[in-house]
Amino acid sequence: MVVGVLALQGSFNEHIAALKRLGVKGVEIRKPDQLQNVSSLIIPGGESTTMARLAEYHNLFPALREFVKMGKPVWGTCAGLIFLANKAVGQKLGGQELVGGLDCTVHRNFFGSQIQSFEAELSVPALASQEGGPETFRGVFIRAPAVLDVGPDVDVLADYPVPSNKVLYSSSTVEIQEENAMPEKKVIVAVRQGNLLGTAFHPELTADTRCFLCRHSYFLKMMSEVGEGTSSGGKGTSSGIVVVGGENLGFNQQPKIDLPIFQ
């Protein structure tokens, strides 16, 4: 099994290392032709505007859109989630090109700037009920986006209750449409639509092996679920991050102590 990892910028090495720990080969994708050698793709976190410029420079957008349209599994984390969204708000002046396909609107810096990065235990009760282990998993949010709204074909996998004093928006004049991003009690931080998975946080940076494996395996399992391009892009057959069936991922073992990167 070979997974492509878009390697223009951002945390692609971390994703490749995470895949390696699962015994899966991750290959760096920098050129359109290289997409032909992989049947699934991870678009990592980083800085989406920069990543978009590099993707444009390498003429990657048409090939990425084609990849998505063919129903091949694509997982966008953080900046990658922004890439996959049909619409992004809070973009830099002039906007940025998106791959699209995921029927949702993403706020690019919903949780604020770099120094407002944080970690949080995300509640996914269905995960514990079906897979065992603690009810929460740790989300690492780095200058993180959030999903503001989703279309009917999108499954919400995880949301996060945001205290109103934590809902931070840039006051910069180039950060647009803030009036549409009213503070919510809960914001969506993980979604799936058929072959597309999006997480606002960085699973590849989490030291909690249980969560790490879970989320990565979720994606890897999507590969067998949707095949190599047969999905219509509609709702997945499963809802929630709860479909890591049949694999012994050690959920009933004592969970490892997590190692937050921000302490």
Active-site annotation, residues: 78, 202, 204
Closer residue to ligand GLN, CB minimum distance, 107 or 244 = 107
Identify the sign of the CA torsion 88, 100, 138, 157.
Answer: positive
CB 81 within 8 A of CB 198: yes
The amino acid at 142: I
Closer residue to ligand GLN, CB minimum distance, 78 or 226 = 78
Closer residue to ligand GLN, CB minimum distance, 144 or 214 = 144
The nearest distance, CB 47 to ligand GLN, in angstroms, is 4
Pairing of strands 74-77, 196-199: parallel
The nearest distance, CB 92 to ligand GLN, in angstroms, is 8
The nearest distance, CB 108 to ligand GLN, in angstroms, is 4
Closer residue to ligand GLN, CB minimum distance, 19 or 200 = 200
Closer residue to ligand GLN, CB minimum distance, 3 or 146 = 146
CB 211 within 8 A of CB 138: yes
Residue 145 tokens, joined: 């986006």
Contact positions toward ligand GLN, by CB under 6 A?
45-48, 78-79, 82, 108-109, 142-143, 145
Q: How deeply is 205 buried, as exposed, middle or buried, from its count of CB atoms within 10 A (0-12, 13-18, 19+)?
A: buried
What is the Cα–Cα distance from 186 to 154, expressed in whole angstroms?
17
